[in-house]
Amino acid sequence: MIKYLHDAGIKSEWAYAAGFASIGLSFLSWTVSKKKESAGIDRADRWGIFVGQWAPTFFGVGNALSTYER
């Protein structure tokens, strides 16, 4: 998979940037869900956690790409 991503032109820096962006998106989705939905804080927490799970994946892919690029 990492070879395919590398061959497709994906760089490790992009994966790291996506990881940091997903942290911000996690906070944003939690805030929007908390304010706009009437389901309460539980649903807002679930949205924040769901999006927050993306960050470690992107950072892991970034590390793998970085190793492959060497």
Among the listed residues 66, 56, 52, 54, the one whose alpha carbon sits nearest the alpha carbon of residue 13? 66
Domain segments of the chain as ranges = 12-69
Ramachandran bin of 7, using left for φ above 0, alpha for ψ from -120 to 50, beta for the remaining angles:
alpha
* 42 vs 64, more confident: 64
pLDDT tens-digit series, residues 23-39: 999 888 888 887 777 77
Among the listed residues 4, 50, 59, the one whose alpha carbon sits nearest the alpha carbon of residue 27? 50
pLDDT tens-digit series, residues 50-67: 888 899 999 999 999 999
Whether the pLDDT of residue 68 is over 80: the answer is yes
pLDDT the model gives residue 47? 80
**Mean pLDDT computed over 13-21:** 95
Contact 62, 3 (CB under 8 A): no
pTM of this prediction?
A: 0.78
